[in-house]
Chains A and B, each alone.
Chain A
């Protein structure tokens, strides 16, 4: 049973470009969460999605960031017009239901903005 998959594992972008991060949850999991981790810091919640629904986006910056989890295909975290401060590790986690169940993390995408 494959775990949570994220790609790419490493992404380098220049300031002003767009970054697209993908996450495929574990089989049977319908809940997806995105977290951001700055170097030497903890994990910060960004957004919680179910298929075709954004449940909680209270951790998402108001501008440039968006997320979706379509009926078919992976969840996408999109960052437009990246800036140096966006450089971080972005982790996706999935669970079969809500916070009563463990969230399993993917390997992360390390974004570097030049």
Chain B
């Protein structure tokens, strides 16, 4: 089952904040966040593992709520370079083994204007 991302698109002015959500109908073991610019490869942002942790670097952080089976990506004081499509990828876990494959959401298009 593909995770559902919301919103589908966000338009910001430089310096504004944004939150992108990723919800799954299945139990989560890991959530991976990527940013992809048009015509380029996805770039890894961060990974969160089962345990409800929160992570961050610079002005981008994320949380993982295992109970709600959802993760949120927080972008603060956005910069022009933040523009792109953000994908969450979810990894499963069963029988003592974590799944290698990631199931990606449909993406959230973020546009930052000067």
Contact = CB atoms under 8 A, between A and B. Distances in A.
A100 B106 CA distance: 22
Interface string B21-51: 0000000011010100000111110010100
B87 interface: yes
A108 interface: yes
A41 interface: yes
Interface stretch (A14-22, A52-60, A68-76): A52-60
Interface residues on A, range: 20 to 34
Interface residues on B, range: 20 to 34
A80 to B, nearest CB: 23
Interface string A78-108: 0000000000000100010011111111111
Nearest to A48: B100
25 contacts: A33-B101, A35-B104, A41-B106, A42-B2, A43-B87, A43-B104, A44-B104, A48-B100, A48-B101, A56-B101, A58-B101, A59-B101, A91-B42, A98-B98, A99-B29, A99-B92, A99-B100, A99-B102, A100-B47, A102-B47, A103-B32, A103-B89, A105-B42, A105-B44, A106-B41
